[in-house]
Amino acid sequence: MTKSPITPTPDDGCAWVTGASQGLGLAVAERLATDGWRVAASARNREALTALAERSGGRITAVPLDITDLDAVRAAVAGIEDEVGPIARAVLNAGTYIPETALTFNSVDARTQVELNIMGTIHCLDVIMPAMVSRGRGQIAVVASVAGYRGLPRGAVYGATKSALNTLAESLRFGLEPAGVRIQVINPGFVRTPLTDKNDFAMPFRMEPDAAADKLVRGLARRDFEITFPQRFTFLMKRLRSLPYETFYALVSRGTGAS
């Protein structure tokens, strides 16, 4: 039987946020807790997660985790569902960014990004989707990036991983939505995090983590497949996708100083 996904509430279970030790993931975990959710927060930084849990007043549970380890993901999700509650909402935000150019490109850094950004997310999906489908309800948000819209300077592998996440979520929606599970993709512009602090170029309309988390969480309440912000910047990025290559390369080179 085909079902229309219902947006979950805190009464349906807990929220799981990966990459929750800093930046956008941390802000999302805190925002969901403020909204009444019991939150399981995961990342590799145990100390940061412990501090987050301690200041949450009991609303956030620290679940240290390396999502590149499938067995660890299975154990973590089982622990969350036993101790915190069924995962009704998952925000799969964990990822990394290693800037590179054609002259610094190397397979070691590439593999690091592919393993965490793509395979880590796939591990999480592999574990949480069957339970949600069996319950006939749930919500998954996959955090990608507008960097996945088109190839940009200094982000060949990062952009490729985020493009892959967009395609992954698009494809999974065909099977999840009829089963009652909502999947959405999050494509932020620049958000101030330790990752964007690596950039040595101007970042138009860069948002603070709390403001970005507000946009993300508000988007989870809507039926839109894609949640993207800030609107002025992401509108421009969407337009780049339709430009012919000569125009695209000329505009991006001029705007970023890339050659």
Question: Which ranges in 55-106 belong to alpha helices (H)?
Answer: 70-83
Can you give the pLDDT at residue 186?
A: 96
pLDDT tier at 88, thresholds 50, 70, 90 = very high
pTM over 0.85: yes
Average pLDDT over residues 178-197: 84
112, burial (CB in 10 Å: exposed 0-12, middle 13-18, buried 19+): middle
Assess contact for 227 and 184: CB atoms under 8 A. Answer: yes
| Closest C-alpha to 189, from 226, 233, 223 | 233
Give the pLDDT confidence of 176-185 residue by residue, as tens digits: 999 999 999 9
Cβ atoms of 127 and 75 closer than 8 Å: no
Q: Is the pLDDT of residue 250 over 80?
A: yes
Question: Is the omega angle on the peptide bond into residue 5 within 30 degrees of 0, that is, cis?
Answer: no
Chain segment 12-31, per-residue pLDDT in tens: 999 999 999 999 999 999 99
Contact (Cβ atoms closer than 8 angstroms) between residue 251 and residue 243: yes
Is the CB of residue 75 less than 8 Å from the CB of residue 96? Answer: no
pLDDT at residue number 1 = 43
Catalytic residues: 158
- In this prediction, residue 241 has a pLDDT band, given cuts at 50, 70 and 90, of confident
Q: For residue 87, what is the DSSP state?
A: E
Task: Say how many Å lie between the first and final Cα of the chain, rounded.
Answer: 54
Query: pLDDT grade, residue 157 (50/70/90)?
Result: very high
CA separation (Å) from 153 to 96, 146, 164, 206, 249?
17, 13, 18, 18, 10
Closest CA to 22 of 161, 210, 148: 210
Q: Whole-angstrom Cα distance, residue 122 to residue 22?
A: 21
Average pLDDT across the chain, whole number: 92
- Quick check: 57 pLDDT over 80? yes
DSSP state, 243?
S
As a whole number, mean pLDDT of residues 174-195 equals: 89
pLDDT-derived band at 253, boundaries 50, 70, 90: confident
